[in-house]
Amino acid sequence: MCCCGRRALMQYLESRVTPLLAGVLAFVDTNNNLDVLISAVQNSQHWLCNMWLQMFSDCDVTVLKYR
């Protein structure tokens, strides 16, 4: 694939992936949840961080649907 083709492919992928990741981050940060994760790491409360990460990865808890 030529350089122009790679660049076009990367631009296409970025245009599709960027809004998806922005939506996921916006959902996760509802009610400043990311601040809770940061403070848990800073205060060495790894159990709290692990609990939040497990909740975010559970499909029954976080119902993220994209088309």
pLDDT at residue 20 tops 80? yes
What is the residue-averaged pLDDT of the chain?
84
Mean pLDDT score, 25-51: 85
pLDDT > 90 in the chain, percent: 15
Which residues have CB under 8 Å from 39's CB, separation 6+? 45
Q: How far apart are CA 40 and CA 33, in angstroms?
A: 11
Domain borders along the chain are 3-57
Which residues have CB under 8 Å from 53's CB, separation 6+? 37
Q: How far apart are CA 16 and CA 30, in angstroms?
A: 22
Expressed in angstroms, the distance from the first to the final Cα of the chain is 29
pLDDT, greater one: 44 or 1: 44
Using 50, 70 and 90 to split pLDDT, how confident is the model at 10? very high
- Tokens at 63, concatenated: 């119902």
pLDDT at residue 15 tops 90? yes
